[in-house]
């Protein structure tokens, strides 16, 4: 009894303090019970049977006290350790009482048979532990025979977990244990009448469960997933990636715009050189050269020359058209002013001529008046007979006299050069053109170069296999434009150069990615796109990884669903009329052929949590099924036929000969096979084999009580403490304890 063991320790302490035999000592419970019964007037047992029955009653009473003590400690103790001890002492009271009865009876029988104190102690302990240890040992023996030790148990648990998580079904005993012997037995049973049907149905159920699990996942990923739909999803995903990269590029280049104004003139030297190189003639073969030139590239070169050297390009620069208009207006005003000055000059000349004419007329009139006056005087003189006449000019003479004042003729006027040069409209336009040509510097605005580079980049990303310009030419032009923009960013300062570096690095990487993706999506049918995307999965996951990372999650899920569907598609020779038959063997073969990186790309990046682990559990399940089926496999199927023919022959022979043993044997074989097949496919048996063999919770209390009931516990308590220490050391070393000469040895 546990109380006796505790009392023994207390008594040993009292002996050390007071000396042996001095003062009070805790009596053993059996002795205390005997004292109470004697005081009550009950007779002492006299026969062997009475004494054994008394031992049993005493042991049961002591066990009851132990249980009561345990309950009290568990309910009232303040220390956690003490409460735990109380719980152990109070565990499974019925088992403790039964074990106490068995231990007390075994010890009493040994005493009555003449056994010594050691034999009584051993019998009492063995008898007490038998009700709890025997079932434990039996279960441990069965489990050990089926799956071995702890390593085998863990392997079983892992295999059962694999089947449960992969398809929600339990493996057979052979699949769970991976025991060659059990797998061979299952193979044999699958070829024997009575067992073949059960194992075949389990195989079909497992395959159907695996198929259902695959279908459920594909349904959650993308209902009605097909190769065609996956190809469409890939194309949409790549287009979405393309649009996303363009938006990101625009955002990055907008940061560069903060440091370089749009109208900043930058050189296009490298771009011009690249175009000249792309359109260069073959020395000595100008006619052949034309066959290797591209019209669009030539047009771009011509356009660039026009934009960097032509007047219209200069006029398109900010403020240049206004400047040209201002110069034109100024020159026109100057011409108008000069014309007005010339008009005034010739007007003055005309006025002077008119004034001279009038002055000459007045002069001739005065001459005529003088002639008339002289003629009058001559007439008076003639009347007076005088002969001193004055000369008198005739009108003709007066008219013929040269003008006193010079008069410029119209002809003379037209021959006079105007004093001021007047520009003609043509001259004005020429001067404006000359001014604009003076602004030519071979540069383009920053915004123009950036836009041109974007357009060239679009040609690279959007161009297909039948584009009118080879991508190699676009790439060369794109690189040259990038260099010109890079020089502009460098000239604008470190912040601009840093912004340019980030934008250019992203653009370069995205264009490389798009180029790689274009090799997949440039197909004339969605099915071919899907086939191109999933080719080479056995060699690695680079291609499919790039693709999956570039697509939105909904497109990735559709691709993964289509691939998962095809993993389990049966070979053509095993297909149904719809081409939808599932094969666990094909699933395993195709999954095994897929590289680890490809699995990660397809399943870990699908947006379905835990999908890779789920798929690999399915593959593990299929592998365990294959492994179990290969032990003593009979590919030709003759074993089942032979067993069936043999069984029927025995049955017919027994009936024909009237041999009941032969008939019973022929009928017993299928029954035994069916029973065995039901066993190896039983979920409860599989789970039992995978379980841990645990001792009952009452074993510590039972063992403590058995030790406490031993007659030697009080006289020699160190024997038990030595046994406890030996047991601890044996567990540490992984060995066992054996009794030797009244002591214990670990070996």
Instruction: Report pLDDT digits (tens) over 541-558.
Output: 888 888 888 888 888 888
Same domain? 250 vs 297: yes
Hey, what are 414's tokens?
Answer: 């037209």
In 357-397, which ranges are E strands? Answer: none
Instruction: Please choose, from the candidates 58, 10, 6, 51, the residue with its C-alpha nearest in 3D space to the C-alpha of residue 36.
Output: 58
Question: What mean pLDDT value characterizes the chain?
Answer: 75
Higher pLDDT, 137 or 733: 733
Same domain? 286 vs 418: no
Same domain? 347 vs 454: no
Q: Is residue 6 part of a domain?
A: yes
Q: Is residue 220 part of a domain?
A: no
Q: What is the pLDDT of residues 428-454, one digit of tens each?
A: 888 888 888 887 777 888 888 888 888
Quote the pLDDT of residue 16: 46
- 274 CB burial (10 A radius; 0-12, 13-18, 19+): buried
Q: Is residue 193 part of a domain?
A: no
The answer, yes or no, to whether residue 342 has pLDDT greater than 50, is: yes
Same domain? 253 vs 361: no
The answer, yes or no, to whether residue 714 has pLDDT greater than 50, is: no
Quote the pLDDT of residue 310: 76
Total domains in the fold of the chain: 3
Q: What is the pLDDT of residues 725-739, one digit of tens each?
A: 666 677 677 777 777
* CA distance linking residue 714 with residue 706, whole number of Å: 13
- What average pLDDT does this structure show over 587-598? 87
Same domain? 488 vs 400: no
Higher pLDDT, 105 or 747: 747
- What average pLDDT does this structure show over 386-414? 84
Quote the pLDDT of residue 332: 92
CB 263 within 8 A of CB 447: yes
Quote the pLDDT of residue 20: 57
Q: Which of residues 470, 491, 521 is at a domain's end? A: 521
Same domain? 353 vs 272: no
DSSP-based three-state secondary structure for 259: coil
The answer, yes or no, to whether residue 464 has pLDDT greater than 50, is: yes
The answer, yes or no, to whether residue 329 has pLDDT greater than 90, is: yes
CB 161 within 8 A of CB 613: no
Instruction: Please choose, from the candidates 228, 246, 736, the residue with its C-alpha nearest in 3D space to the C-alpha of residue 513.
Output: 246
Same domain? 77 vs 131: yes
Give percent of the chain with pLDDT exceeding 70.
68
pLDDT classification of 211: cutoffs 50, 70, 90: confident
Same domain? 84 vs 39: yes
Q: Is residue 413 part of a domain?
A: yes
Question: 340-349, 465-474, 676-685: which has the minimum mean pLDDT?
Answer: 465-474
- What average pLDDT does this structure show over 247-265? 86
The answer, yes or no, to whether residue 23 has pLDDT greater than 60, is: no
- What average pLDDT does this structure show over 706-733? 57
Q: Is residue 262 part of a domain?
A: yes
Same domain? 34 vs 139: yes
Q: Is residue 327 part of a domain?
A: yes
Q: Is residue 638 part of a domain?
A: no
Task: Return phi, psi of residue 667, to 5°.
Answer: -80, -30
Highest mean pLDDT out of 19-23, 34-38, 692-696, 732-736: 732-736
Hey, what are 9's tokens?
Answer: 């320790």
Q: Using the CB atoms, write b or e for 408-421: b if 16+ within 10 Å.
A: eeeeeeeeeeeebe
Q: Which of residues 409, 435, 461 is at a domain's end? A: 435
The answer, yes or no, to whether residue 180 has pLDDT greater than 50, is: yes
The answer, yes or no, to whether residue 322 has pLDDT greater than 60, is: yes
Could you tell me how many residues make up the chain? 747
Alpha helices per DSSP H over 568-698: 584-592, 596-599, 611-630, 638-657, 660-680, 683-690
DSSP-based three-state secondary structure for 14: helix
Same domain? 293 vs 351: no
Domain extent at residue 418? 320-435
Give percent of the chain with pLDDT exceeding 90.
3
Tell me how crowded residue 491 is: count the other CB atoms within 10 A of its CB.
Answer: 13
Is the C-alpha dihedral spanning 540, 541, 544, 547 positive or negative?
Answer: negative
Same domain? 35 vs 121: yes
Instruction: Please choose, from the candidates 411, 451, 57, the residue with its C-alpha nearest in 3D space to the C-alpha of residue 249.
Output: 451
Same domain? 137 vs 266: no
Q: Which of residues 521, 542, 565 is at a domain's end? A: 521
Q: Is residue 345 part of a domain?
A: yes
The answer, yes or no, to whether residue 536 has pLDDT greater than 90, is: no
């Amino acid at each position: 009894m546990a109380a006796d063991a505790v009392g023994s320790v207390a008594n040993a302490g009292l002996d050390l303090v007071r000396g042996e035999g001095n003062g009070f000592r805790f009596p053993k419970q059996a002795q205390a019970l005997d004292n109470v019964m004697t005081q009550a007037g009950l007779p002492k047992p006299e026969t062997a049977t009475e004494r054994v029955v008394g031992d049993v009653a005493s042991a049961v009473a002591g066990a009851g006290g132990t249980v009561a003590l345990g309950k009290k400690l568990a309910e009232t103790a303040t220390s956690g350790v003490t409460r735990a001890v109380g719980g152990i002492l109070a565990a499974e009271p019925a088992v403790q009482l039964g074990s106490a009865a068995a231990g007390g009876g075994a010890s009493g029988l040994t005493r009555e048979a003449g056994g010594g104190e050691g034999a009584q102690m051993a019998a009492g302990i063995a008898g007490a532990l038998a009700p709890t240890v025997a079932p434990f040992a039996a279960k441990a023996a069965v489990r050990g025979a089926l799956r071995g030790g702890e390593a085998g148990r863990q392997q079983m648990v892992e295999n059962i977990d694999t089947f449960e998580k992969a398809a929600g079904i339990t493996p057979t005993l052979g699949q769970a244990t991976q025991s060659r012997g059990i797998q061979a037995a299952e193979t044999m049973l699958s070829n024997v009448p009575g067992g073949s049907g059960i194992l075949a149905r389990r195989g079909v159920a497992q395959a159907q469960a695996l198929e259902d699990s695959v279908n459920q996942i594909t349904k959650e990923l993308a209902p009605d997933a097909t190769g065609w739909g996956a190809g469409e999803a890939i194309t949409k995903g790549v287009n979405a990636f393309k649009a996303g990269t363009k938006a990101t590029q625009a955002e990055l280049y907008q940061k560069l715009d903060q440091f370089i104004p749009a109208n900043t003139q930058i050189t296009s030297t490298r771009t011009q050189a690249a175009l000249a190189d792309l359109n260069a003639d073959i020395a000595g073969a100008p006619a052949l050269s034309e066959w290797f030139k591209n019209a669009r590239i030539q047009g771009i070169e011509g356009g660039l020359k026009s934009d960097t050297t032509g007047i219209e390009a200069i006029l398109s620069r900010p403020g240049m058209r206004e400047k040209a208009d201002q110069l034109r207006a100024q020159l026109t005003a100057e011409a108008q002013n000069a014309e007005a000055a010339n008009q005034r000059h010739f007007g003055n000349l005309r006025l002077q001529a008119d004034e001279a004419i009038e002055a000459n007329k007045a002069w001739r009139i005065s001459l005529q008046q003088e002639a008339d006056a002289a003629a009058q005087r001559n007439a008076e003189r003639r009347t007076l007979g005088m002969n001193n006449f004055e000369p008198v000019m005739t009108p003709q003479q007066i008219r013929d006299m040269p003008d006193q004042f010079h008069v410029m003729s119209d002809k003379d006027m037209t021959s006079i050069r105007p004093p001021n040069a007047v520009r003609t409209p043509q001259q004005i336009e020429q001067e404006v053109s000359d001014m604009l040509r003076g602004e030519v510097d071979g540069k383009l605005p920053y915004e123009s170069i950036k836009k041109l580079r974007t357009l060239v980049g679009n040609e690279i990303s959007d161009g297909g296999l039948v584009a009118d310009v080879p991508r190699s030419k676009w790439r060369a032009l794109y690189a040259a434009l990038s260099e010109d923009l890079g020089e502009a960013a460098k000239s604008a300062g470190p912040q601009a150069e840093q912004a340019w570096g980030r934008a250019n690095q992203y653009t370069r990487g995205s264009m490389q990615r798009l180029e790689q993706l274009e090799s997949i999506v440039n197909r004339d049918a969605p099915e071919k796109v899907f086939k191109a995307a999933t080719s080479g999965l056995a060699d690695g996951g680079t291609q499919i990884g790039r693709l999956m990372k570039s697509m939105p999650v909904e497109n990735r899920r559709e691709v993964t669903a289509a691939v998962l569907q095809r993993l389990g598609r049966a070979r053509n020779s095993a297909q149904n009329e719809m081409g939808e038959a599932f094969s666990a063997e094909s699933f395993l073969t195709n999954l095994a052929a897929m590289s680890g990186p490809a699995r990660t790309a397809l399943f870990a990046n699908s947006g379905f949590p835990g999908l890779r682990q789920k798929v690999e559990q399915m593959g593990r399940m299929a592998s365990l099924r294959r492994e179990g089926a290969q032990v003593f496999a009979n590919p030709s199927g003759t074993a089942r036929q032979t067993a069936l023919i043999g069984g029927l022959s025995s049955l017919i022979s027994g009936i024909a000969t009237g041999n009941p043993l032969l008939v019973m044997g022929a009928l017993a074989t299928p029954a035994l096979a069916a029973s065995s097949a039901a066993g190896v496919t039983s979920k409860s048996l599989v789970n039992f084999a995978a379980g841990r063999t645990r001792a009952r919770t009452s074993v510590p209390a039972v063992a403590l009580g058995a030790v406490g009931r031993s007659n030697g516990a009080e006289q020699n308590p160190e024997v038990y403490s030595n046994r406890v220490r030996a047991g601890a050391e044996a567990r540490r070393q992984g060995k066992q304890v054996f009794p030797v000469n009244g002591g214990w040895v670990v070996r």
